[in-house]
A = this chain, B = another copy of it.
């Protein structure tokens, strides 16, 4: 902050007015003479006056700022969601301050503290891949600061949530694989204390059962979101007695890396092994074979979360809403084994 910033008082002094009058003129209040208003506005313009929102925030006891905690900005899903939030927020005159937990519970806790002492008006949160308890949000609720969870939600907390239909879409994707003739479908299942991952796995399991197939433990691979040594995982899979004929990956990058490793081993995709991605990143269209994936309207989820939160803030209405944004299965070559 520059020490010579011009304030409302400065303007008042220059015009021989009181700060109250200047404040009113600037705020578009009615109780002020048109001539003086014009003079004030002109001078403010000329001096490039910009209201000190810090002072404003202290006075108003609100910051018009939304705090966002997400696992990673590098993740395109979250990057896109942030875009949506910022769009809605700035339209409504709110700022957004973003923290990354880096998939770590400890950092997530720190993020909460940071945002709280920065006096954000509300929180939008997607929990980290390590978050198996939610007591660090107690403080937030205690201070009556509204939270909206999105995608990776904290079920037990009574607050609004924006989710996608993980269960249904995961089931649909699995059924698609089965319809293509796949009988031994491996799935990369995320941390099971996450609501999301649980639902995704449930969808997979139900699809298998409903199709009369046997659901085998060994095809369910426990993984997290920080993937490494994908080649080992692939080797493990292809060395099985009953080698899988399809893999439902945890995300597109994992899927593409697997395809790469499998191709190098001489397997054909999808003839030998079909591969299903998750997230539908733009690259899916341009790889060989094009990757079947699941598209989430991340931007809409972000918009929705921000709109929900702002609505809570503006109306004071604290009723909990749960909004579900539908994902979509995008079928491409990597799973297309049967010509219709």
Give residues in A with beta carbon < 8 Å to B: 1-5, 48, 50-55, 57-58, 61-63, 73-74, 76, 79-80, 82-83, 86, 90, 95-100, 113-114, 116-119, 121, 139, 142-145, 253, 256-257, 259-260, 263, 282-283, 285-288
Taking a contact as CB atoms closer than 8 A, the residue among B97, B100, B282 that contacts A253 in the complex is B282
Closest residue to A282 on the B side, CB-wise? Answer: B253
* CA gap between A99 and B62 in the complex, in Å: 21
B58 and A55: CB pair below 8 A? yes
Say how far A247's CB is from chain B's closest CB, in angstroms. Answer: 15
A62 surroundings in chain B (CB, below 8 A)? 1
Question: Is B116's CB under 8 angstroms from A50's CB?
Answer: yes
A105 to B: closest C-beta gap in Å: 17
CA distance A4 to B61 in the complex (A): 11
- Identify which of B55, B73, B90, B97 contacts A83 (C-beta below 8 A): B73
Give me the 9 closest cross-chain CB pairs, A-B, nearest first: A260-B286, A2-B143, A50-B117, A2-B144, A256-B286, A1-B61, A54-B57, A73-B79, A54-B58
> Which residues from chain B contact A121 at a C-beta distance below 8 Å?
1
Which residues of B are found within 8 Å of A143, using beta-carbon distances?
Answer: 2, 4-5
* Contact, CB under 8 Å: B257 / A119: no
CB closest chain-B residue, reference A102: B83
- Smallest CB separation, A132 vs chain B (Å): 23
Is A53 a contact of B117 with CB atoms below 8 Å? yes
Q: A73-B82, A286-B259, A286-B260 are in contact. Are A113 and B1 (CB under 8 A)?
A: no
Instruction: Report if A119-B79 is in contact (Cβ < 8 Å); known contacts: A1-B61, A2-B145, A283-B283.
Output: no
A60 to B161, CA, bound (A): 38
Chain B: minimal CB distance from A135 (Å): 12
Contact of A48 among B55, B57, B139, B260 (CB under 8 A): B139
Docked Cα-Cα span, A175 to B227, in Å, equals 36
- Whole-angstrom distance between the alpha carbons of A269 and B52 in the complex? 57
Nearest chain B CB to A52's CB is how many angstroms away? 6
Contacts of A287 in B (CB 8 A): 256, 260, 286-288
CB A6 to nearest CB in B, in angstroms, measures 10
In whole Å, how far is A242's beta carbon from the nearest beta carbon of chain B? 27
Q: Which residues of B contact A54 (CB under 8 A)?
A: 54, 57-58, 63, 118-119
**6 sample A-B contacts, Cβ–Cβ < 8 Å, listed by A number:** A1-B61, A1-B62, A74-B80, A98-B98, A260-B285, A260-B288
Which residues on B sit within 8 Å (CB–CB) of A288? 260, 263, 287-288
The contact of A117 among B52, B80, B116, by CB within 8 Å, is: B52
Contact B61 A3 (CB under 8 A): yes
Q: Given contacts A52-B117, A95-B118, are A74 and B79 in contact (CB under 8 A)?
A: yes
Instruction: Say whether B286 contacts A119, CB under 8 Å.
Output: no
CB neighbours of A52 from chain B (8 A): 58, 117, 119
Question: Min CB distance, A48 to chain B, in Å?
Answer: 6
Cα–Cα distance between A79 and B121 once the two chains are bound (Å): 25
Q: What separation, in Å, do the CA atoms of A142 and B263 have in the docked complex?
A: 59
